[in-house]
Structure 1
Amino acid sequence: MSKLNRRKFIRDAAMASAGFFIVPRHVLGRGYVAPSDKLNIAGIGVGGKGTSDLWEFAKSPNVNIVALCDVDDRQAKQSRKNFPNAPYYKDFRVMLEKEKGTIDAVSVSTPDHTHFVATMAAMQMGKHVYVQKPLTHSVYEARMLTEAARKYKVVTQMGNQGASGDGVRKMQEWYNAGIIGNAHTIYVWTNRPVWPQGMGKPKKTAPVPAELDWDLWLGPAPWEDYKDGYVPFNWRGYWSFGTGALGDMGCHLIDPAFKTVGLLYPSEVECSTAAVYEQMWTPSSYPDSCPLASSITLRFPSKDGKSKIELHWMDGGIRPDRPDELLPDEPMGDEDGSGGVIIEGTKGKMMCGTYGSNPRLLPLSRMKSVNVKQTLKRVPEGHYLQWVNACIAGYGKNELSSSFDYAGPLTESILMGNLALRSWQLKNASGKFAGRKTLLWDAKNMKITNFDEANQFVKREYRNGWNL
């Protein structure tokens, strides 16, 4: 074969090979997705909520689940069964390095205390990220992820699925149309926690289960010996790992109000807690644990800068007063009353359940007379597929319901409530509780300006080996 013919052969073979990957869909047939159009997703934390997250992504014909990571083989069992061809790792850092040429995007569904380190590591490698709520464990981490998403130009979404629902958008349309006037007071409540809180950490050391890598599970948290009572669920009630009832449900419940009214960063926060040993309004004597119940007030500057909007959060069975506009047989919030949102304005009130479900004007009779035109685009594909499509389209191309530009400030506001709770639990040298005051927040500099002891909860220290 001549040199010229040999070159032509190599060129034609290369073109044919390349054409296999970029052949148009209409040639391949209806319903077929070219390999180059698929999003390769890796899961970090693939048990519990991570199991269902990956399953939701896998429903899309545009997705490959290409790698799995979990520190507990017991928790990972179902996902490994669902995706038997995906290599399995225990350390996400090892997975990201070994699979960096394969992975396009990462889904993070670990306990709260590991969200930041896993997400930031993926973003620094240019991977798109979907992160379960709350976005982070601390206020500082939320700000850092928000800024990193812009820096690395990756597509982001927090896992508060209700943010893509029709209910939230209908409430926004009502509010934008002036149906309830200007909002001034918001009530949000949940029946959480449904795990132990308001008690000390477990004291009895236990053998580490063979399937669990305890050192990796702790991740950036301070070292402590393994104890029964943390894994796989009850870590939520301890400040070292979880963010309590507020962190668990705040992103689902506060989101409708945050979006509807257009909130950003609070300027003030204060709280009260219920202690398990007294069942009354006193600070908890267990500073390592989230309180049994809490009542938190966040104040946000209004858009005109002339007034403040108060958001009242309640958990552990505490609920706001029933609106006068509700009839005795009409449910408040969710059908069973376990959670909900009420927004009070200068011309009326609106209400919804958890995830922005079943939005209603109060009194309910107003629903018959109000007809507001749809102005906001709906998300029929759902929260998961919205992110998948945005990843495939590329950074900045598609609208997202809870990108870090939105989810970051929302998470910061929610974690400000936890900062107040932890400040409330502090004791000063005289033995008096030091947190009985309104904390003033300088959002730009991420600093409490009138109680310096509270600033220790803005940012946490990481265990050696976990700093990014």
Structure 2
Amino acid sequence: MDENKKSNSTPRRNFIKNASIASLGITIVPRHVLGGVGFTAPSDKLFVAGIGVGGKGESDIKSFADSGKAEIAFLCDVDDRRAASSRARFPKAKYYKDWRVMLEKEHKHFDAVSISTPDHNHASPAIAAMKLNKHVYVQKPLTHDIYEARKLTEAAEKYDVVTQMGNQGASNNGTRLMSEWYDAGLIGEIQEVYCWTDRPVWPQGIPWPKTSAPIPGELDWDLWLGTAPYKDYVGGLVPFNWRGWWDYGTGALGDMGCHLVEVPVRVLNLKYPKNVQCSVGSVYVDEFKRGYFPDGCPPSSHVTMTFPKTDKTQGDIKLHWMDGGIQPARPEELDPNEVFGDGGNGVLFIGTKGKMMCGTYSENPQLLPTSKTEKTTVAQKYDRVEGQANGHYKQWVEAALAGPGKKEVSSPFSVAGPLTETLLIANLAIRGFDVRKERSGGGYDYPGRYIEMLWDSKNMRVTNFEEANQFVKRNYRDGYTL
């Protein structure tokens, strides 16, 4: 038997040895102690350890607990300030700052892990938890780097655990209804899709601060850095403004792409793009010069990816991503005062016979002109998720309780991994745009600009611009490698 499988199948004779969980004040025994993955314990509770439990992490673990079928057994956060509310909400849960210590000491006492850290610290704890045969729920985007997304996808299959990415819109009815419209031929064949967002709503397109700041006493800065290269602490970065810096975040694409691009990926069954090109917004460096700052994401971008033919298309698909407030031209079928998408964000499908659109999380799907929507009825083809986006959490809990392969989830890593890779390939073009080479006579050349980067999905590399491949996989700090 694979040693990795043994770790989650503790025999009954080890029950007393594992009874140390009673010291936590928890009287229900974790499911795996009594019989392995898929065993239905008398309590029918899933014991969950939360890594990153402030902000979105807090709402995630609360949603698991609200399902009535999960017990929040452990909490882990590098910042005591961020963890305070969750610690008050779940006073019986034992608290750690270092997820590595928690997994090493407590892995026999929980069944599943929820990860809601900054993007750069998603993959390492997720891989470690799956190696212990724990079910995992990871916030979007699944990973910071393309290599990580591929490895998490492979690990989910290897260790046979229940996985879910936190793009809760994947459980909404909108994507399923739009799939049914498309499958019924209502808008004909699709050749082009636009996704757009008003993000960023955090500082972006700015230089890295020149002066450091005192580290707050409640924050373990070294643990927060995790996989990223060491830098001195700067003010304003934590808890939210890390999103615009490449060492930690994935910009607007990472924040909103998993909610928006998920729609065409599902409707058209898109896989990996075969090429990508981009243009990005620049900023004023001084009164006379415009420029870019390589430490962070640009203030806006327009990325175009080409996807090869799928079983649901007749040919290639062009997918446009726009952020920073850039939007495609309004469809002529929209009345002048009708909202395009949901205003700040949206998805537009352009077909040979018509168009359809939706907002964030696939909400408010509409055929164009919108008067068609209420008049159109198609047969339901795809199962709905109870509770839709709010049911995304309970869906994972119930699937983990049932055991691998017993119940479907909306965004397993087999789907979320390739989706995340697609977004990060777009980011690869954005970062490659700013790769610079110093000229012998002064100044810089930018060989990655204004070209179409050709993507080899099997080998995870750009074939015609080698310099971009440095961003496929980061260099990990000691103690955080996959």
Normalised to the residue count of structure 2, the TM-score between the two structures is 0.88
Distance in structure 2 (CA, Å) of the matches to 1:338 and 1:193: 11
Instruction: Report Cα offsets for 1:427-450 as digits up to 9, x if no partner.
Output: 123312121210000101111111
Distance 1:162 1:246 in 2: 16
Greater CA drift, 360-369 or 145-154: 360-369
Describe the SS at the equivalent of 1:333: coil
Rounded to whole Å, the distance in 2 between the matches of 1:458 and 1:75 is 31
Q: Please say if 1:440 is aligned against 2:447.
A: no
Secondary structure (helix, strand or coil) at the match of 1:453 reads helix
Structure 1 partner of 2:323: 315
- The 5 A counterparts of 1:112-261 are 112-261=119-268
Partner of 1:340: 346
Following the alignment from structure 1 to structure 2, what is the Cα–Cα distance between the partners of residues 377 and 303? Answer: 22
* Matching residue of 2:363: 357
Letter in 2 for 1:258: V
TM-score (norm 1): 0.90
Per-residue deviation, 1:369: 3.9
Q: Contact 2:189–2:314 (CA<8 Å) still a contact in 1?
A: no
Contact 2:126-2:136 within 8 A present in 1 as well? yes
C-alpha distance after superposition, 1:301-345 (max 9, x if no partner):
1226873201111111111100011011211000xx100000111
The one-letter code matched in structure 2 to 1:315 is D
**1:34 Cα deviation from its structure 2 partner:** 6.3
Equivalent position of 2:91 in the other structure:
84
Amino acid at match of 2:460: M
Q: Aligned-pair distance for 1:206?
A: 1.3
Cα distance in 1 between the residues matched to 2:292 and 2:423? 23
Contact 2:268/2:310 (8 A) holds in 1: no
Task: Describe the superposition over 1:93-113 as per-residue Cα deviations: whole angstroms up to 9, x where unpaired.
Answer: 111111111110000000000
Q: Which secondary structure does the structure 1 equivalent of 2:370 belong to? A: coil
Match status 1:464 vs 2:473:
no
Q: CA deviation at 1:35?
A: 4.4
2:41 and 2:137 map into 1 onto residues whose CA distance is 23
Match of 2:402 among 388, 393, 397: 393
Q: SS of the counterpart of 2:428?
A: helix
Counterpart in the other structure of 1:451: 465
For the 8 Å contact 2:435–2:447, the answer to whether it is kept is yes
72-81 or 367-376, larger mean C-alpha shift: 367-376
In the alignment, structure 1 residue 407 sits paired with structure 2 residue 416:
yes
1:427 pairs with one of 424, 436, 458: 436
Give the aligned residue type for 2:68.
Answer: P
Which letter maps to 1:445?
A: N
Inter-CA distance 283–132: structure 2 relative to 1 (3 Å threshold): farther
Conservation of the 8 A alpha-carbon contact between 1:274 and 1:283: no
Aligned-residue offset at 1:171: 0.5
Following the alignment from structure 1 to structure 2, what is the Cα–Cα distance between the partners of residues 214 and 368?
A: 53
Q: For 2:326, give the aligned amino acid.
A: I
Hey, which bits of structure 1, 4+ residues long, moved more than 6 A?
A: none
Provide the rounded CA distance (Å) in 2 between the counterparts of 1:454 and 1:391.
38
Identity between Structure 1 and Structure 2 (%): 59
Taking the aligned partners of 1:278 and 1:258, their CA distance within structure 2 comes to 38
Q: Tell me, yes or no, if the aligned pair for 2:76 and 2:98 is still in contact at 8 Å.
A: yes
**Contact 1:284–1:425 (CA under 8 A) maintained in structure 2:** no
Letter in 2 for 1:339: N
Q: In the alignment, is the contact (CA less than 8 A) between 1:21 and 1:34 conserved in 2?
A: no
Q: Which amino acid is 2:218 matched to? A: E
Structure 1: unaligned runs, 5 residues or longer: 1-13, 15-19, 23-32
Kindly name which structure, 1 or 2, has the bigger radius of gyration based on alpha carbons.
1
AA in 2 matched with 1:177? A
Q: Is the 8 A contact 1:246 1:418 kept in 2?
A: yes
Amino acid at match of 2:435: L
Q: Quick one: which amino acid aligns to residue 445 of structure 2?
A: K
Note if contact 2:283-2:290 (Cα within 8 Å) is conserved in structure 1. no
Q: Distance in 2 between matches of 1:160 and 1:365?
A: 29
- Separation of aligned partners in 1, 2:228 and 2:28: 44
Name the CA distance, whole Å, in 1 between partners of 2:268 and 2:89. 41
Q: Following the alignment from structure 1 to structure 2, what is the Cα–Cα distance between the partners of residues 345 and 195?
A: 35
Kept after mapping to 2: 8 A contact 1:283/1:433: no
Q: Which residue of 2 aligns with 1:418?
A: 427
The question of whether the paired residues in 2 share the 8 Å contact of 1:267 and 1:441 is answered with yes
Q: Equivalent residue for 1:42?
A: 49
- TM superposition shift of 1:283: 8.5
Question: Over residues 113-147 of structure 1, what are the superposed CA-to-partner deviations in whole Å (9 max), with x where a residue is unaligned?
Answer: 00001111111111000000000001110000000
Equivalent residue for 1:265?
Answer: 272
- The superposition leaves residues 372-404 of structure 1 with CA deviations (integer Å, 9 ceiling, x where unpaired) of 011111001410000001000101111111000
Q: Deviations over 1:345-374 (max 9, x none)?
A: 121111000000000001112224421011
User: How far off its partner does 1:464 sit?
Assistant: 1.5
Contact 2:284 2:290 in 1 (8 A): no
Instruction: State how far apart, in whole Å, the 1-side matches of 2:269 and 2:137 are.
Output: 23
Q: Partners in 2 of 1:118 and 1:274 — Cα distance?
A: 34
Contact 1:71/1:216 (8 A) holds in 2: yes
C-alpha distance after superposition, 1:43-97 (max 9, x if no partner): 0000111010011111022110000000000000100000001000000011111
Where 1:406 maps in the other structure, the secondary structure is helix
The answer for the alignment partner of 1:4 in structure 2 is none
| In 1: Cα distance, 2:269 partner to 2:67 partner | 32
After superposition, residues 6-17 of structure 1 pair within 5 angstroms as: none
Partner residue, 1:11 = none
Q: Cα RMSD over matched residues?
A: 1.9
2:163 partner amino acid: T
Aligned to 1:375: 381
- SS of 1:68's partner is strand
Q: SS where residue 107 of structure 2 aligns?
A: coil
- Does the C-alpha gap of structure 1 residues 283 and 110 become closer, same or farther in structure 2, counting only changes over 3 Å? farther
| DSSP 3-state at the match of 1:351 | strand
Local SS of the residue matching 1:75 = helix
CA distance in 2 between partners of 1:346 and 1:147 (Å): 37
